[in-house]
Structure 1
């Protein structure tokens, strides 16, 4: 038997992974996370449970199926930014370009309700964000030449990662994201305080 070309094999794996994740989310939203089994998801995606576990470590990972890609994109936003662009400016554009479309997706509200109403998913999400904080903080620290656990770099990473939660329910999410990045770049001033006179 002839092996599939790498490109085709990878596309097939990606399509299978996406089909599993889509089936899982649909079932979770329809029936609730706790009422759906791994077998239910495998059957809905027309794969074996063995195949499912080749793509996902566990049931929670099915909900956060883009977790590793998002983490890699965050780190790349720092490491691969254009020469002369600041870290904060690169992260600002990354959040605006990648998170806002997700927040405006038709299923965003249902997805957030699913996660917020399911203790196992809330806990998994928190562990995921903690890991993202460590990775992003390390990338920032490496860029500026300090230890990977430098508290200022870790704090900046954490603040950036909190932006989706802080702005999710705002009427104008773009303006809210911009406001938070302005605070990170320029410091905080009490709201309504008049600008200093020249």
Structure 2
């Protein structure tokens, strides 16, 4: 959509419904725990039907907290593509991850609670990992584009996979920001030119 155009009524209504469902889900999950809340309860709290919930969030309960991955993929590739001159690809990726979930140094209390919910709930943690690793092809392609390398290069695929596993591995450490630094220290040893 053209950013200068104002969304129509239908688009505004869809966005409002998505927001109401997501807000209701997060509130209920934080109050009672992810596993103790049903999709029917979420739909009721948002004053919608269960079928409407699945139209907006086909990924189910997990998607209500973490989305569908499209924003994540766009933001991840933008971090590489739009990095400042002189900033390495690895530094751009580390800087990007440092603002997300358990790595965020100064989250608001609600964001901190949601990050803790994700880390401590096996279904949410598994879904988050799936969303991250689902960005592999896009990350490989943007690194290849930025470096002039072939996207089929095993080295690029390995790097992308390692980067995308960091949130799941380092995000559960006692000190996630320190673990993030450690992970990228190791990556720089393997890919010193990136």
Same fold per TM (> 0.5)? yes
* 1:166/1:49 CA distance change after superposition, 3 Å: closer
1:106 maps to 113
What is the CA deviation profile of residues 58-106 of structure 1, one whole-angstrom value per residue up to 9, with x for unaligned ones? 3142242263211211111111111222111111111112341289612
Unaligned runs of 5+ in 2: none
CA distance in 1, matches of 2:46, 2:117: 21
- Displacement after TM superposition at 1:175 (Å): 2.3
Root-mean-square deviation over aligned CA pairs: 3.0
* 1:128/1:110 CA distance change after superposition, 3 Å: closer
TM-score normalised per structure 1: 0.72
CA contact (8 A) 2:69 2:132 kept: no
User: Which one has a bigger Cα radius of gyration?
Assistant: 1
How many residues matched? 179
Unaligned runs of 5+ in 1: 189-198
2:78 maps to 76
1:161 maps to 164
What is the CA deviation profile of residues 123-173 of structure 1, one whole-angstrom value per residue up to 9, with x for unaligned ones? 644542331122212211222223323221121111112222222243433
TM-score normalised per structure 2: 0.74
CA contact (8 A) 1:27 1:36 kept: no
* 1:97/1:128 CA distance change after superposition, 3 Å: closer
CA distance in 2, matches of 1:122, 1:88: 24
- Displacement after TM superposition at 1:34 (Å): 7.7
CA contact (8 A) 2:20 2:46 kept: yes
2:143 maps to 140
SS at match of 2:131: helix
